[in-house]
Structure 1
Amino acid sequence: MGMPTNPVLAPSPHIHGLPDFPSISDDDFVPAFDIAMADHLREVEAIAADTRPPTFANTIEALEQTGRGLAQAAGVFFNLVGPDTNPVRNAIAQELAPRLTEHGNTIALHGALFARIDTLYRTRDSLGLDEPSLRLLERRFRDAVRAGAALDDDGQRQMREISARLSTLTTTFSQYVLDDSNASAVLVDDAAALDGLSASAISAAADAATEAGHDGKYLLPLDLPTSQSALASLTDPETRRRVFEASVNRCSRGNEFDTRAMVLEITALRARSARLLGYRNHAEFVIAEQTAPDADAVQSFLSELVAAAMRAGGRELTRLHGSGSDPIAPSDITHRLAVEQRENSAVSLDDFGDYCELDRVLTDGVFAAARQLYGLRMVERPELPTYHPDVRTWEVFDADGVSVGLFLGDFFARPSKRGGAWMNNIVDQSQLLVAHPIVVNVLNLTKPQPGSPCLLSFDQLTTLFHEFGHALHGLLSAVRYPSQSGTNVPRDFVEFPSQVNEMWALHPTVLSGYARHHETGAPIPSELAEAAREATSVESAHSTIEYLAAAVLDLEWHRITADDEITDVEAFEARALASAGVASDLIPPRYRSAYFNHIFGGGYSAGYYSYIWSEVLDAETEQWFLANGGLTRANGQRFADTTLSRGDSVDPIAAHAELIGRSAEIEPLLARKGLVAAVG
C-alpha cells in the first residue's frame, strides 16, 4: 500500500478542483509545501538537463506545466491567511516566506535553465511564435534577469539574501497591521456617544465588545484606510476624534506591533536590490514592467493631478468651514462632507441603504449585470465545502450553459480577517492545464444579527461591484498559459476591469433591478435613485487628495537610492508630502507608512499609483460603453473579447486601444473627479 496523499495535494472530489477544505488541517500545510517544492524542483531539473536543443515546447511551455502541486498548495494556504488566519497559520506563513523565496530563486537563478531560456530569447524573432507565446518567452527571460540570473556569483548571493529577508519582513508587516488594527479598536462606554450610527452598526459594536470581554460596552473596529467610514455618521466630535487618532497612529505607538523599523529596512533592501540589477531605485525597477513609460512619467502624472486636486481641496475646505468659528479637525472632514451632501440634496440620502440589501444586490444587481453583459449565470452551490461558515459558493455558467468556474463570496468582517477588500485566485484558468478558474471575493461588511438584513452603504455597494470586476477578469479568462491568466497583468492595468464594473452599481437598469426596500419590497423612488447618482457623480477633493498623498508616499519611499540613509519615518513622510505639494494637516494620506499594507505587506510597492493610472482607461471605457448603448450583450462581448478574456496574452494598452478605437486620454478622468476647472 502506498503512502497516503497529503490532503492539501490530494485530487479534489469536487467540481473544478475546489479544495476539500474540511479534510485539510493546519498541520498538513508545511508537509504539503515540502512535497510540492521538491516535486517542482525535480520537474525543473529535468527540463534544464534535457540534452536536446532548447525549443519553446520543451523549455518555456514545459515550465508552464511544472509546479502544479505547489500552485495547488499555495492556492489553498494563501487564500486562508488573508481572510481567516490564526496564530498557527501566521507562524506557517513566517516559515514559508523565506523558503518559497529561496525556492523561486533556485529556479530563476538555475544556470543551465537560464542558458536554455537565453538561447530562445536571443533567437525569438526566428521561432515563428504567436503573440501569447512570444510574450511568455520574453516574460520568462525578463523574470530570470530581474531575479539576478545575469549577475555574477556574488551578486546572486546578495540577491538571495535580500529577497529572503524581504519575504520575512513583508509577511510580518502584514500580520502586525492586522494585529494592531484589532488592538486599536475603540471601546465606547455609552451608546449616546455612537449617535448617528445605524441601529445595526450599534448592535454590531455591542456584539464586538461582548466578544472581547467588555459586556455592556461598544467596540468600534477599524477599517484599513486612515479615513474611517464611521466618521461620516458619528455626531459626537470626541468619538470621531478617538476613532481617527486610533486609526492614524496604528503601528507607530512604540508597542510590539510598531512597524517603523520594518519600513526603513524594507525600503533600504529594495533600493539595494534595484542597484544590483542596474536600476537607480526600486520604483524604476518596478515600473519597467508596467504600462507606464517610467517612474518620471508617473511622478509627472501625479504632480499634474496633485496641483488640480489641492486647488479644489482648498475651495472645499473653505466651503466646509463656512462662516463658523469652530475649528475644523481632520476627524471632522468626512462628517461635514456628509452633512453638506444631505443639506444640498433635494432628497435625503439617509434611507438609500434601506434599498441595498446584500443578497438582493448580489443576485439582482451584480450577477444580473454580469448576465446582461457577458451571458453569465450564477447558481449557488451551498453543498460545496468552504473554509469558513460565512463563505458562499456559486457555480458560473456561460451563455451556452457550460460551467466555466466557481465564485466564492466571503463578505463579513471578523477578527481573523485582514482589513480591506480583495480578490484571490484559488485556481487560475488555463487551456494548457485544462483548469477552470476558482476565484474569491473578500469584503469586510459588518455581519448583521440573525434574521436582520445586511444593508450596504454607497462605498460598500461600489466595493462589491469593484471586486466582482476582478472576479470577472478571472472567470472570463480564456488563455492557454496559466501565468497569463486573468489578473496576471501589469499592476497598473489590473485595477482597470474592476473599476469599469463599478459603473453599473447605479446604472438605471441595474439599480431598478436590486433597489427594493428590505422590509416592504417597494422599488426605490425615482427621485432617490437620481439623487444617489448625482451625489456620486463627482468625487470629493478630500477623497482624491488622500489617495494622491498615499500614491506620492509610495513613489517617494521607492525612489530612494542605496546611498540614502533614512532614519525617521515620520520626518520622511512630512518631507515627501511637502515636496510633492500634497501636505495637509487636515487631510492625511489614505495610508500612512506604518500601516500601508499595500506597499509593505502586499504587491503594490511603487505601484499604488496604478489605481488612478488605470482610472484613465476606466473613464474612457465608461464613455465608450455609454456612447455605444451601455448595458448590452454586444458591448459586454466586445469588452470580454478585447480585455477580460485575454489576460496578459496580449499587450494590455494595445487591447484597450482596440476596444475604444484610439489611445486613451486624461480628460474624461479629470471631468469625473471634478478637476477640469482646477487644471491650469
Structure 2
Amino acid sequence: MSASLPENPFFAASDLPYQLPPFERIRTEHYRPAFDRGMADHLAEVEAIATNAEPPTFENTIVALERSGQILQRVSAVFFNQTSSHTDSAIQTIQSEVSPRLAAHSDAIHLDARLYARVAALLDDADRLDPESRRLLERYHLDFVRAGAGLSEEQQTRLREINAELSALSTKFENDLLDDTNASAVVVDDVAELDGLSDGAIAAAAETAKERGLEGKYVITLVLPTGQPPLASLTNRSLRERLFRASIQRGAHGDEHDTSATASRIASLRAERAALFGHPDHATYVLEDRTAKTPAAVHDMLGKLTPTAVANAHAEAAKLQAAIGDEFELRAWDWSFYSEKVRRATYDIDAAELRPYFELERVLRDGVFYAASKLYGLSFTERPDLVAYHPDARVFEVADEDGSEIGLYIGDFFTRDSKRGGAWMNSLVDQSTLMGTKPVVLNNLNVVKPPAGEPALLTFDEVTTLFHEFGHALHALFSQVTYPKFSGTSVLRDFVEFPSQVNEMWSVWPEVLANYARHHVTGEPLSQEVVQRLRDSQIWGEGFGTTEYLAATLLDLAWHELPPGTVIDDVAGFEARALERAGVALETVPPRYRTTYFAHIFGGGYSAGYYSYIWSEVLDADTVEWFTENGGLKRENGDHFRRELLSRGGSVDPMEAFRTFRGRDPQIEPLLERRGLTQ
C-alpha cells in the first residue's frame, strides 16, 4: 500500500468503533510520513497559539494546546505500542530515527518563550477556573518550567543536546536488550534435562525451538526479571545454573548488544541535565514532581523495610540450606527450586501441581472479568470483527451495567521474539470529554504460548500479574475527565501502580478464586483446603521477594543520585559497591533487575522511580484493608473506589483523591504486616 497522503491511515481519525486504530490498513511505510506530518502540523498549530494577536485566555492557549497534535498522538500511540509488542528491524530503525526527533520536537514547544509567556500570564486569573481547569493550567506551567523554559539560552541549547542524546540512548538500550535477550535463550539438546517441567512447558520449548529452526531441540526463552520461572521446577542443577547465568549476563557480554556503556552514559547525562535546573542529582529533580517529593523521604521508607527484609531472606536461606543438606551450598540458581520444596513441605503447596487449575481463558473470563463484573457491574464481549496489531491480540468491548459503552480492552498475553519482556498496559485512545473519545487500552503479558490445541496454563505469579495489569486497564477504562492530559493512568509516577496493585487482591478473594480455579480437564475446583494453604503460603518467600525488589530499587537510586560529572566505567563494580553500601548485597538474592537489563529505568519511565511499586503498595495494602473491613467484593465498595479515585485520573492531586476515598492519610502498618516486616 502506498503511504501517500489520502491513504495514510493516521492522517484522519479512525472510523472504527471507539476510534480503534485501523490495524488492517497500517503498514510500516506509513509511520515515517505520519510522524513527519504529525510533527509539522503540531508545530504549525503551536505557532498559531504562540502568535495569536488576542490576549491569552484559557481557551485560546491551554485548551488549544490540548486539542493540538492529533496526528502525532495517533501515530505515536500505535508506533510505540508496536516497538514494545511486535517489533522488527524496520521498526527499530524507524524508532532510532524518530525518537531524537520527538525529543527535539518537545523541546521546540516547551522552550518557546512566547508560548511560555502566554501560559504564565494566565496564572493570575487561575482562581476563576473550575478545579480541573485550574489544575490543567498549573500542570502546563509546571511542565514548561521543568522542561527548561526558565533556563538561559545557553542552558537551553545544552538541554536540547542532552534530551536528543538521551532519547537515542534509551532506544538503543531497549533494542540491544531485546536482541540480547532473544540471543540468550537457553538451547537444550536432551529432553531428559528438562525433568521437572510440565508436559505443556516441554512442548512449548520444543515449539519455540522449531520456530527458530532448531528442530529436535528445546528452547527456554527469558523473561525480563532476573528470576526465570523454570528455575522453580528444573531438577537438573547444571541447567538451572545455565539458565540463571544466561539471565544475569544479559547486556553484559562485551559485544555489540552490551548495554553497560549505554546505561552509564544515560545516568551521566541525566545528572548533567539535573544540574542545569539547579538540582544536585537526577533523583532530586525527578522526585520534586512525585508524591514522595524528596530522595530522603524514599530512603526513610526503604530504611524501615530493608533490615527486616534482609534478615527474613537470611532466615529463608537457612531453611533452604537445611532442605539441601550437606550435598552442596545454596546458590542463587537453587533458590526457587528449593523454595518450592520448602513451600510444599510447610504448606503442602506445589506450584507445578496448581498450574492445571489456572488455565488462561478461565482466569481471564471467570476471574479477572468476573471480579470486575461483581465489583463494578462491567460486561465484556469479545469482538473478533475488530482486528488488533497481532493475531494473538484479542479485542473486547466493555460495557457498564446499564449497557452504556465504556471502551475497548485488548489482551495480548503470549510471549514472542518480537515482544519485549515483562508485562504492561498501554493506551491507544485516551478518554476525554473535550475530544469526545472513549478509552482503548491493552494489556501485554509474556506467557509461554502452548502448541496448537493445548491450553495455556499459568503459574500463580502469572495469574497475579494478569490481575495487576488489568488494574491499570480499569484505571484507564473508568477515566471520566475533560482533558486528555489527565486521562486514566496519567497520574504521578509513584501513584500509578496503586490501583493495579489493589486489583491483585481479587485473585485470592474466595468468591473469585472459587470461580476461576478449576482443573482445565476435569473442571474440578481447587479445594478449599488447598486454597487456604495457598493463602497461608503467601507469606513464605517475602524475605526473598522484598529483598530482591529493594536491591533493584536501591540500585536505581544509586545510579540517579550520582553528582554531575561522575563517569562510571566499571558498571559491574559500581553495582556491587552500591548494593554493599545499601546492605542488600546477598549473593543468593540478586536484584530483581541488574543494571544491564534494568529496562524500567534505562529504557522506560521509571528512572529514580522504581521505588514507586512499594511506595504505592503502602496505599494498596491500606486500601485492601478498607475493602476487607467493608465486606470486600460488593458493588457499593467498587462504586466508591471507582467514583472517588479510579475515575479521576490526574485531574486531582492523587493524595487528595486517596484521602477522599479512604477518609484519612495512608498508614504503613498494613504493608509491614503483609510482607512480614513487623518485627
Report what 1:555 is aligned to.
557
Question: For residues 92-117 of structure 1, what are the alpha-carbon distances to aligned partners after superposition, in whole Å with 9 as ceiling and x for unaligned?
Answer: 11111011111111010111100001
Report what 2:506 is aligned to.
504
Tell me the CA shift for residue 5 of structure 1.
4.1
The CA distance in 1 between the partners of 2:621 and 2:632, in whole Å, is: 14
Q: 1:322 aligns to what SS in structure 2?
A: helix
Cα pair 1:348 1:528 within 8 Å, conserved = no
The CA distance in 1 between the partners of 2:518 and 2:308, in whole Å, is: 39
Contiguous gaps of at least 5 residues in structure 1: none
The CA distance in 1 between the partners of 2:351 and 2:239, in whole Å, is: 23
The CA distance in 2 between the partners of 1:370 and 1:173, in whole Å, is: 37
Tell me the CA shift for residue 422 of structure 1.
0.2
Report what 1:386 is aligned to.
388
Tell me the CA shift for residue 349 of structure 1.
4.9
608-617 or 554-563: bigger deviation: 554-563
Cα pair 1:8 1:76 within 8 Å, conserved = no
Q: 1:503 aligns to what SS in structure 2?
A: helix
Q: Does 1:317 align with 2:325?
A: no
Cα pair 1:349 1:532 within 8 Å, conserved = no
Report what 1:419 is aligned to.
421
Report what 1:270 is aligned to.
270
Tell me the CA shift for residue 14 of structure 1.
1.1
Report what 2:138 is aligned to.
138
Cα pair 2:107 2:147 within 8 Å, conserved = yes
Q: 1:493 aligns to what SS in structure 2?
A: coil
Task: Please list, as runs of the form range in 1=range in 2, the aligned pairs for 1:186-197 lying within 5 A after superposition.
Answer: 186-197=186-197
Report what 2:581 is aligned to.
579
Report what 1:282 is aligned to.
282
Task: Please list, as runs of the form range in 1=range in 2, the aligned pairs for 1:20-99 lying within 5 A after superposition.
Answer: 20-99=22-101
Task: Please list, as runs of the form range in 1=range in 2, the aligned pairs for 1:163-562 lying within 5 A after superposition.
Answer: 163-322=163-322, 324-325=325-326, 326-346=328-348, 348-537=350-539, 539-562=541-564
The CA distance in 2 between the partners of 1:145 and 1:484, in whole Å, is: 19
Q: 1:605 aligns to what SS in structure 2?
A: coil
Q: 1:20 aligns to what SS in structure 2?
A: coil
Letter of the structure 1 residue corresponding to residue 344 of structure 2: R
Letter of the structure 2 residue corresponding to residue 83 of structure 1: S
Question: For residues 558-582 of structure 1, what are the alpha-carbon distances to aligned partners after superposition, in whole Å with 9 as ceiling and x for unaligned?
Answer: 0001132322111111111111111
The CA distance in 2 between the partners of 1:230 and 1:3, in whole Å, is: 49
Tell me the CA shift for residue 3 of structure 1.
5.1
The CA distance in 2 between the partners of 1:392 and 1:26, in whole Å, is: 21
Letter of the structure 1 residue corresponding to residue 43 of structure 2: L
Cα pair 2:340 2:350 within 8 Å, conserved = no
The CA distance in 1 between the partners of 2:617 and 2:240, in whole Å, is: 31
Cα pair 2:471 2:500 within 8 Å, conserved = yes
User: What's the Cα RMSD here?
Assistant: 1.2
The CA distance in 1 between the partners of 2:583 and 2:452, in whole Å, is: 49
Report what 2:641 is aligned to.
639
Letter of the structure 1 residue corresponding to residue 224 of structure 2: L
Q: 2:593 aligns to what SS in structure 1?
A: coil
Cα pair 2:207 2:451 within 8 Å, conserved = no
Question: For residues 200-248 of structure 1, what are the alpha-carbon distances to aligned partners after superposition, in whole Å with 9 as ceiling and x for unaligned?
Answer: 1111111111222222111110110111111011111101000000000
The CA distance in 2 between the partners of 1:166 and 1:347, in whole Å, is: 47
Cα pair 1:538 1:674 within 8 Å, conserved = no
The CA distance in 2 between the partners of 1:259 and 1:347, in whole Å, is: 39
Task: Please list, as runs of the form range in 1=range in 2, the aligned pairs for 1:594-605 lying within 5 A after superposition.
Answer: 594-605=596-607
Q: 1:439 aligns to what SS in structure 2?
A: strand
Tell me the CA shift for residue 347 of structure 1.
5.5
Tell me the CA shift for residue 40 of structure 1.
0.7
Tell me the CA shift for residue 130 of structure 1.
2.3
Question: For residues 321-372 of structure 1, what are the alpha-carbon distances to aligned partners after superposition, in whole Å with 9 as ceiling and x for unaligned?
Answer: 1172221111001111111001112455542221111111111110011111
Tell me the CA shift for residue 674 of structure 1.
0.8
Report what 1:623 is aligned to.
625
Tell me the CA shift for residue 540 of structure 1.
2.3
Tell me the CA shift for residue 608 of structure 1.
0.2
The CA distance in 1 between the partners of 2:13 and 2:150, in whole Å, is: 38
Letter of the structure 1 residue corresponding to residue 672 of structure 2: L
- Check 1:349–1:177 CA distance in 2 against 1; reply closer, same or farther (3 A cut): closer
The CA distance in 1 between the partners of 2:191 and 2:653, in whole Å, is: 55
Letter of the structure 2 residue corresponding to residue 321 of structure 1: Q
Cα pair 2:414 2:449 within 8 Å, conserved = yes
The CA distance in 2 between the partners of 1:116 and 1:386, in whole Å, is: 41
Question: For residues 170-215 of structure 1, what are the alpha-carbon distances to aligned partners after superposition, in whole Å with 9 as ceiling and x for unaligned?
Answer: 0110111111000000111111111111111111111111222222
The CA distance in 2 between the partners of 1:539 and 1:654, in whole Å, is: 34
Count of paired positions: 674
Question: For residues 448-490 of structure 1, what are the alpha-carbon distances to aligned partners after superposition, in whole Å with 9 as ceiling and x for unaligned?
Answer: 1111111111100000000000000000000001010110001
Q: Normalized against structure 1, the TM-score is what? A: 0.98
Tell me the CA shift for residue 8 of structure 1.
2.4
Letter of the structure 2 residue corresponding to residue 173 of structure 1: F
Tell me the CA shift for residue 169 of structure 1.
0.1
The CA distance in 2 between the partners of 1:588 and 1:350, in whole Å, is: 24
The CA distance in 2 between the partners of 1:265 and 1:403, in whole Å, is: 47
Letter of the structure 2 residue corresponding to residue 159 of structure 1: L
Tell me the CA shift for residue 400 of structure 1.
1.6
Q: 1:626 aligns to what SS in structure 2?
A: helix
Cα pair 1:545 1:587 within 8 Å, conserved = yes
402-411 or 350-359: bigger deviation: 350-359
Question: For residues 256-283 of structure 1, what are the alpha-carbon distances to aligned partners after superposition, in whole Å with 9 as ceiling and x for unaligned?
Answer: 1001111111000000000001111100
